[in-house]
Structure 1
């Protein structure tokens, strides 16, 4: 089977974890001999992230890793857009550069595709029996509220719209005209995906090793308000 999974990693000031996540991805063995393509997009980090990535690329020339660097900070969403445009794989997944999500679970998300059921698979932090770090009550309430509001606008029954782990058939994702440059990617892609006729969206349970703000968690309450705006905006607009 000559099939490839493109793994898009947007990076902004992740010097503590970027090498660890790259090493974890390197060790992942995908099911049915699916190949890996790793696309790293550095969003003008002000720490040593880019130097660490460049050194890693020199040491790991045998790996299928492609690196891009934004000249100015344009946001996570814009970095993901760049990764999507450069991806050549049959499937695409977004991987944050921190350690909150486990790349060993790519196979869980891949299975509905390999079984011929899915066009899109969301990895839910709120279902299944995988381990979940216990953190912030209001952060969890906020995530569930955003998912509820998104479901109202899209008529889906997702349990975790804001999850990082979304895997797509590449042709489906590349067909969307995405606009959000920062943290509005999740509600926008969900709203636009839901409008595709006969789209097959699945959800699987995944683990979640969340980090605190002292551990450099970047999303804030302001991003939550932006998400609400995007849910309403893209829920009301046609593709």
Structure 2
């Protein structure tokens, strides 16, 4: 194949890419940004095919004498940029899907449950307990039965966000008398918590408490989390197994949590001892300040967003037991620590 043949092939490819982009845009399949990107790539391919000498400055910059190698290096950089753009588009699409699933769950919740009655005279406020659950039919009822109905002079309400469970989680929670907001598909704990936060705002709660459905945390210790918020001392109170009691102390997971807690402490200048703990209390009026995007590995995102936005932060001792039954929903092997690390870096940089 001669250089002339390569030039002709390049021009044909550029024309085909530009035509494809225009057709997709006119049919509504692409946004304007997608069309502009396709046209930009098409123009670049066309120009390089007809005038290959345009790569000479790039070769001179990198001290590459071979023009073909310089153009190859330039194309690799462009491909990498396109790959990063595609990842961003995929994350944005995933986020839109999560918003749709959460919106459907919230609409169904509104239809099923009437607005809360006004608080009784003398009440300090309302505490909303949000329990995300995925295939926790064997434990959810036991957790719900241990929730207090009143705490420090506040009414306590609860909602289970069933995150697309394949078992009887929703039925078990409803049988225990707890309202349920159901995701039609599994979205991850981060999306389940966002749905729960929206319900806490809908219910006009003053404090929202997050409690896992697996029975590892003790609902009886909820007062430790809520008291600093009600007393005006904190906006975000995190439970810490390392300040309290950890039944699996000395495990590999223990070491990982200590490392990531040290990393967040280094990045924020604030001592954090248990960055992956799921037992927390947040002032509902402060939720709007948090830019929460992660569908999974969201515990570290919550802490970083709270500290970045000036929420008064406090840690209190809590107990964390072994899971009594069922399997952990955390990814296996290296997927979990790598996911936590990614979320820490991305949240800190944005």
Structure 1, residues 46-104: CA drift from partner, whole Å, max 9, x if none? 111122223223xxxxxxx4311111111111111101011131011111101100011
Q: CA RMSD in A?
A: 1.7
Within the alignment, does 1:208 sit opposite 2:320 as a pair? yes
Contact 2:138 2:326 in 1 (8 A): no
* Counterpart pick for 1:91 among 207, 214, 218: 207
Question: How far is 1:22 from its partner?
Answer: 0.6
Task: Please say which structure displays the higher CA radius of gyration.
Answer: 2
Match of 1:47 in 2: 167
- 1:142-221 map, 5 Å: 142-182=256-296, 184-197=297-310, 199-211=311-323, 215-220=326-331, 221=333
Match of 1:115 in 2: 231
Does the residue aligned with 1:231 lie in a helix, a strand or coil?
A: helix
Question: How far is 1:136 from its partner?
Answer: 5.6
Contact 1:100 1:211 in 2 (8 A): yes
Contact 1:153 1:236 in 2 (8 A): no
For 1:136 and 1:194, the matched residues in 2 are separated by 28
* Counterpart pick for 1:68 among 181, 184, 188: 181
For 1:228 and 1:19, the matched residues in 2 are separated by 33
Structure 2: runs of 5+ lacking an equivalent: 1-122
Query: How many residue pairs are counted as aligned between the two chains?
Result: 223
**Under a length normalisation based on structure 2, what TM-score does the superposition of the two structures give?**
0.61
Structure 1, residues 114-169: CA drift from partner, whole Å, max 9, x if none? 332111111110014xx431356211000111111112222210111111112111
- Rate the CA distance shift 1:175–1:72 in 2: closer, same or farther, 3 A: same
Higher share of residues assigned helix: 2
Contact 1:178 1:188 in 2 (8 A): yes
* Counterpart pick for 1:30 among 140, 151, 174: 151
Within the alignment, does 1:7 sit opposite 2:129 as a pair? yes
For 1:96 and 1:196, the matched residues in 2 are separated by 25
